[in-house]
Amino acid sequence: MLYLFNLLVPVLMIILGILTKNKPIKKINSFMGYRTELSMKSQKNWEIGQKLMGKVLLKAGIYLLFLSIIFIYIVEKFG
């Protein structure tokens, strides 16, 4: 059960990455999305930032999931 929580963050990152990459937030807002000073300066910057953040979240989630699985295996096997 404890290992489920170790996998929760990477899985959420993957889900959010897929959602953000495939259905980015269209309009600039101060509530949701990848919000930086540069990304909120123009609609073009906003759209690029949203798609890029989706890709980053997806890749980071996959790497983190892989590392979490390795960590769980090591703890189960040796510890």
Digit-by-digit pLDDT tens for the chain (79 residues) are 677 888 999 999 999 999 998 999 899 988 988 899 999 999 999 999 999 999 999 999 999 999 999 999 998 898 7
Q: How far is CA 79 from CA 71, 74, 76, in A?
A: 11, 7, 6
Q: What local confidence, expressed as pLDDT, does residue 1 receive?
A: 63
One-letter amino acid at 78 equals F
Q: How far is CA 3 from CA 31, 32, 71, in A?
A: 32, 30, 10
Residue bearing tokens 């269209």? 26
Q: What local confidence, expressed as pLDDT, does residue 4 receive?
A: 83
Q: How far is CA 66 from CA 5, 9, 16, in A?
A: 14, 12, 17
